[in-house]
Structure 1
Amino acid sequence: MATMGQKIAAALIAVGLLAGTGTALAQGDVIAQRKELMKANRSSLGAIKKIVDDGSDPAAAAAHAKTLLDDGQKFITLFPKGSESGDTASKPEVWSDWAGFEAANKVFTDAAQKVADASAAKDPAALKAAFGAVAGSCANCHNKFRK
């Protein structure tokens, strides 16, 4: 029969194991969240590209531009320290060059704002230019910070 001290030790070990699992699950959750955010961005970028390519009404890009803006504003928060391992395509440079990562995110959000502005102005030429800038910001960030 286990002594009271052994029971307490076993309980503490169990709590420690569960806490470690919780951390791993939380990291997995944030990785899953950033993957979902990137899927939403790809979908919005594809929709905006179609509007640009088809010469459709630029106002139709408004909801997609809002998605990009909203995602850009929360994106940085999805990379807490400790989330660099697991099922992620993020390079270590995200954390070792945090200032560069933040700067790349700002370039993206600034470009997304221009997409929103062009959509609101119903300006096809401005939308095309803004789309090129936002798509370019994605490629630049991925080149440096994604495997």
Structure 2
Amino acid sequence: MRKNLLNLTVATGLVALAMAPVAGAEEMDADAMIKYRTNVMKSLSGHMGALARTVEGKVGFRDLVLPHAQAIAAISHKTAEMFPEGSDFGDTDAKADIWSRRAEFDQAAATAAERADGLVAAAEGGDMAAIGTAFKEMGKACKGCHDEFREE
């Protein structure tokens, strides 16, 4: 009897030990997602900021307009996916409205992706006036989403 109880206790302990990393991994994955999207959004901001200086004529680097636009578009097409359920806590500027008003958030992200595609098309054309117009439209999409779904 004691041997069975000991075996049961050891088995229960091993199961609990084996399950511990799994339970922690879910939390860690959410933390990792938050850190990931924070870094991606910082890089998006970096591309927008760099492109702004070129569009404004403050720097050259016109040869980097298209790569910046392509990076903005690539990120924009994945933005909604970077806010999965369960990543609404911790060190994030994301408002809870993202999850409670999901359809509106998804639409805002889709609008940004469409505007980013327009920016890429303008960049491919090489006309700085068209690039400037598309860049302003992209900026409006970013601002609209930030106003609704990002903490200050």
TM-score (norm 1): 0.91
User: Which of residues 35, 39, 44 in structure 2 aligns to 1:41?
Assistant: 44
Runs of 4+ that moved beyond 4 A? 55-59
Residue identity over aligned pairs, in percent, reads 24
- Correspondence 1:123 to 2:93: no
| 1:20-31 alignment runs, 5 A limit | 20-31=23-34
Which has the higher relative contact order, 1 or 2, with Cα contacts under 8 A spaced 6 or more apart? 1
User: 1:4 matched to which residue of 2?
Assistant: 7
Matched to 1:133, the amino acid is E
Give the structure with higher Rg (CA): 2
User: Which of residues 108, 128, 132 in structure 1 aligns to 2:136?
Assistant: 132
Matched to 1:77, the amino acid is E
Q: SS of the residue aligned with 2:91?
A: coil
Could you say what the CA RMSD is over the residues aligned between the two structures, in angstroms? 1.8
Matched to 1:34, the amino acid is R
Matched to 2:79, the amino acid is F
Matched to 2:81, the amino acid is T
TM-score (norm 2): 0.88
Matched to 2:138, the amino acid is V
| 1:39-118 alignment runs, 5 A limit | 39-54=42-57, 56=60, 60-118=64-122
Q: Show structure 1 runs of 5+ residues with no match.
A: none
